[in-house]
Amino acid sequence: MIEIRNLHKSFGGVEVLKDVSLTVAPSSTTVVIGPSGSGKSTLLRCCNCLEIADRGEILIGGRSIIKDGRPLPDREMNAVRAETGMVFQSFNLFPHMTTVENVMRAPMVVRGTPKAEAHDLALDLLRKVGLEEKADVYPSTLSGGQKQRAAIARALAMRPTVMLFDEPTSALDPELVGEVLQVMKALADEGMTMMVVTHEMGFAREVADTVVVMAEGRLVESGPPERVFSAPAQERTRAFLRALVDGHLAGARPLPTPPDALAALPDDH
Partner 1 sequence: MTLNFDPVWAGLPELLKGAAVTIEVTAAALLLSAVLGLAVGIARLNPRRRVIYGLASGYVAFIRGTPLLVQLFLLFFGLPQFGILLPALLCGVLGLGIYSGSYVSEVVRGAIQSIEGGQMEAARSLGMSYRQAMREVILPQAFRRMLPPLGNETIALIKNSALVSLLTIDDVMREGQRIISTSFRALEVYLVVALIYFVLTNAASHLLRIAERRLSVGRG
- Residue 24, exposed/middle/buried by CB under 10 A (0-12, 13-18, 19+)? buried
Instruction: Candidates 95, 174, 251, 266: give the one binding partner 1 (CB under 8 A).
Output: 95
Number of residues that bind partner 1 (CB under 8 A): 33
Nearer to partner 1, 75 or 253 (CB): 75
- Closest alpha carbon to 36 in 166, 210, 144: 166
H-only helix segments in the chain: 40-46, 74-82, 99-111, 115-128, 144-156, 174-189, 201-207, 225-230, 235-252
Cα torsion at 129, 121, 195, 186 (round to 10°)? 40
12 part of the interface to partner 1, by CB under 8 A: no
User: 12 exposed, middle or buried (CB, 10 Å; 0-12, 13-18, 19+)?
Assistant: exposed
Distances (CA, A) of 151 to 85, 141, 146, 180, 221: 10, 14, 9, 10, 30
Question: What is the total residue count of the chain?
Answer: 269
**Which residues 143-182 are close enough to bind partner 1 by CB under 8 A?**
151, 154-155, 157-158
Residue of 86, 135, 215, 219 that binds partner 1 (CB under 8 A): 86
Closest distance between partner 1 and the C-beta of residue 95, in Å? Answer: 6
Distance of closest approach, residue 167 Cβ to partner 1, in angstroms: 13
Residue 119 or 236 having the CB closest to partner 1: 119
Cβ distance to partner 1 smaller for residue 113 or 210:
113
Give the nearest distance from C-beta 103 to partner 1 in angstroms: 10
Instruction: Give the relative orientation of helices 144-156 and 174-189 as an angle to the nearest 10 degrees.
Output: 20
Structural contact between residues 103 and 113, judged by C-beta atoms closer than 8 angstroms: no
Among 40, 88, 162, 212, binds partner 1 (CB under 8 A): 88
Q: Three-state SS for 33?
A: strand
User: Cα dist. 196→184, 235, 253 in Å?
Assistant: 10, 23, 30
Indicate the residue among 48 and 222 with the shorter CB distance to partner 1: 48
Measuring CA to CA, which residue among 249, 194, 239 is closest to residue 216? 239
CB 129 within 8 A of CB 146: no
CB hemisphere CA count around 130 (13 angstroms): 13
Residue 140 interacts with partner 1 (CB under 8 A): yes or no: yes
Q: Tell me which of 29, 30, 48, 210 binds partner 1, using CB under 8 A.
A: 48
Does the protein bind partner 1 through residue 52 (CB under 8 A)?
Answer: no
Asked if 234 touches partner 1 (CB under 8 A), the answer is no
- Nearest approach, Cβ of 118 to partner 1 (angstroms)? 12
* Closest distance of CB 156 from partner 1, Å: 11
CB of 82 to partner 1, least distance (A): 3
Nearer to partner 1, 98 or 237 (CB): 98
Residues 111-130, mask of contacts with partner 1 (x by CB under 8 A): x-------------------
Q: Which residues here bind partner 1, judged by CB under 8 A?
A: 48, 50, 74-75, 78-79, 81-86, 88, 90, 92-96, 105-106, 109-111, 138-141, 151, 154-155, 157-158
